Amino acid sequence: MKLFKVKIPQHIFSLLKRLGIVLLMLQISRLIFFAYNQSSFPNPEFSDVLVGIWFDIITICLIFLPYSVIYLIPVKFRANRWYKLVFKLSFHLFSGFMLLLNLIDSAYFPYTLKRSSKDLIDTIFIGNDVNQLFTTFLSENILLIVLFISLILLTEFLYRKTTAKKEEPHAKLRYLKHSGWLLFIGGLLVLVGRGAGLKPIGILDAANYTTNENTALVLNTPFTFLKTIAVTGLEEKKFFSKEKEKELFNPIHSTQPANLLPEKTNVVVIILESFGSEFVGPENGKVSYSPFLDSLMNESLYFPRTIANGKKSIEALPAIIASLPSWTNGTYLSSPYSDNTINSLPSILKENGYSSAFFHGATNGSMSFDGFASVAGFDSYFGKNEYPNQAHYDGTWGITDAYFNPWVVKKITKMKEPFCSVLFTISSHHPYITPDEFKKFTTEGPQEICGSISYGDYALRLFFEEAKKQPWYYNTLFVFVADHSPASITPLYSSRTHLFRIPLAFYHPKGLIKPENNPKLAQQLDIFPTILDLINIKSDYYSFGTSLLQINAGQGIAHLDGSYYHFVGDYMTTFSSDKAQKLFNFTKDEVIYIDSLRFYKKHTQENELVLKAMIQRYNRDLITNKTSIQK
């Protein structure tokens, strides 16, 4: 065969055909990914297809570089049977792994709205959740398993077509010529694998070729996995001087006691799994799946415009308990900085005579919550292992909420007052298991999670029915917040302007906190500082949030897939690659495609400076372990 009058050896054509097979398989898996997640990409364009193909080609060059180089080394035994078998098995190992990652994300993406990366492995192996969820994932995704097997068989069929019927005789092996092809093909793979630029292409570069909403559509999971597998730490940013940084942002705060509640008021924080604003809240104007929670929020200081700082439970916990966001390359709890010295709600309250306990019905070790509870300073941790009746295990996550919640109340009653207790519920998490004996108390809806939230709301009712009988009830501040929003099939709650929306409320049974539907922007990072002010603690503390009782509060910062979403006023600024990218109005209950950045340049520049200061301080303090007030 000749190309530009250059005779190309048969094994070169075989290699190129094989790489072409992988590209074809990635395109098929991309179509499957899109079919499973169409509602998350409301406005795909043809250019996204081309960019996606380009990222697939880059990924193939990176992953198959070692395979290709070794395959092209000029050796006389290339035609040997064992040699061919080794490369065949290697080819299927690499291509099968790439397909598997893409297909796993087809089912997992709705819960995170990002392509999985190294943090998926971290999340699995820092706890024991993989043992519980593996069989559930398999049973719920039989179609994906069938598709995976089918694609592997199709790959094998096409692979056989790439093998030359007549290999070049050993005697005709020309080392100089074949070494030249080795250098050419190897160099080409390196060049393309870098993105054909001076700087290797990365995950964040996808935002330069498409909208933030569609970055996951043009990326592929093997690429994001490969780009993060060796990442271990943060890069210190130097946008401006420390003096300028401090003018824009300072995480060192002092409390401002509100004097609304009695001294030594108890604190109970209830983190509700996946209770997103799409299904929860007295003002949502839809069928409510949380009538009991709604009734409590009507009697609370309620912030309907609250932003979750991430999309995972493992990101919510440090944000709520220690006012620390997960702006690391994975999640904070799986980062090298997870054992940093931190200021947290239980550690500050311990200095003021409070006892503390963390309750999570999942199997002990899940998402390393028990480890974080220890680092954060909780006196005790209670999980599935401590619960006395294992017959109430749901078979997947842990002790189901309707049984665990009332038991938590009894354990709290045994604590020394004043106390700080945190309950993290589990039953409104996929696979949305509601025990048969409680289904009569729940309401189903258009999405599978609706019935699960309804069950979680009923379990919350059981918590309060038991709590009202306890002597500590009327001297307790209750805080309700979701860990993150759930997966959604609606375009609005899949858009970046609405997918972080969660409820947040502060409730006192005696009505000492005036009920109010407060329009101020809030975020999970603000909870820890607000609690300190409400219960009249006098202290300095380290926090990336601000007390919602203070005048200068009113912003939200979400982080997803390497991009930041900064909510201030009525607008959300998207920030990636160290600069503001776009500006959208997030107050309208409709999907907004119009970028308003050019109309509000000053507003955007101010937000960009503040966010840069926060990122600069965050990275430096995590690297140097200065995420606390040194006393």
Tell me: pLDDT of 165 over 70. no
Tell me: pLDDT of 257 over 50. yes
Residues counted in the chain: 631
Contacts of 394 (CB under 8 A, 6+ apart): 400, 427, 433, 435
In terms of pLDDT, which residue wins out, 576 or 411?
A: 411
pLDDT at residue number 194: 85
pLDDT at residue number 570: 92
pLDDT at residue number 546: 96
Phi then psi for residue 560, to 5 deg, are -150, 125
Of 62-76, 97-111, 188-202, the least confident? 188-202
593: confidence class by pLDDT, cuts 50, 70, 90:
confident
CB count, 10 Å around CB of 133? 17
Whole-angstrom CA distances from 419 to 342, 386, 407, 463, 546 are: 20, 20, 17, 17, 23
What are the residue ranges of helices labelled H in 343-447? 345-350, 369-376, 401-413
What's the rounded mean pLDDT across residues 495-514?
A: 95
Tell me: pLDDT of 253 over 70. yes
Tokens standing for 466? 């038991």
Q: 528-542: per-residue pLDDT in tens?
A: 999 999 999 999 999
Q: 357-373: per-residue pLDDT in tens?
A: 999 999 888 888 888 89
pLDDT at residue number 440: 95
1: confidence class by pLDDT, cuts 50, 70, 90:
very low
What's the rounded mean pLDDT across residues 194-202?
A: 75
Q: What percent of the chain has pLDDT over 90?
A: 59
In terms of pLDDT, which residue wins out, 496 or 213?
A: 496
The residue assigned the tokens 């005579």 is 353
What's the rounded mean pLDDT across residues 538-551?
A: 95
DSSP string, 103-137: HHHHHHHHHHSS---HHHHHHHHTSSHHHHHHHHH
Report which of 60, 32, 33 is spatially closest to residue 216, judged by C-alpha positions. Answer: 33
Peptide bond into 431 cis (omega under 30): yes
Tell me: pLDDT of 119 over 90. no
Tokens standing for 414? 């045994």
Tell me: pLDDT of 483 over 70. yes
Burial class (CB in 10 A: 0-12, 13-18, 19+), 162: middle
pLDDT at residue number 166: 54
Cβ proximity of 135 and 581 under 8 Å: no
In terms of pLDDT, which residue wins out, 352 or 87?
A: 352
In terms of pLDDT, which residue wins out, 221 or 201?
A: 221
Task: Kindly report the pTM of this predicted structure.
Answer: 0.78
In terms of pLDDT, which residue wins out, 622 or 418?
A: 418
Tell me: pLDDT of 6 over 60. no
In terms of pLDDT, which residue wins out, 451 or 71?
A: 451
Instruction: Output the 3-class SS for 518-555.
Output: CCCCEEHHHHHHHHHHHCCCCCEEECCCCCCCCCCCCE
Tell me: pLDDT of 167 over 70. no
pLDDT at residue number 170: 43
pLDDT at residue number 196: 72
In terms of pLDDT, which residue wins out, 295 or 590?
A: 295
Cβ proximity of 549 and 255 under 8 Å: no
Tokens standing for 127? 């706890």
Q: 124-154: per-residue pLDDT in tens?
A: 555 555 555 566 677 778 999 999 999 999 9
pLDDT at residue number 491: 86
pLDDT at residue number 2: 47
Tell me, rounded to whole angstroms, the distance of Cα 400 from its chain centroid. 24
Tell me: pLDDT of 3 over 50. no
In terms of pLDDT, which residue wins out, 360 or 232?
A: 360
- Write down the mean pLDDT value for the chain: 88
What's the rounded mean pLDDT across residues 243-266?
A: 96
Tokens standing for 148? 């995976």
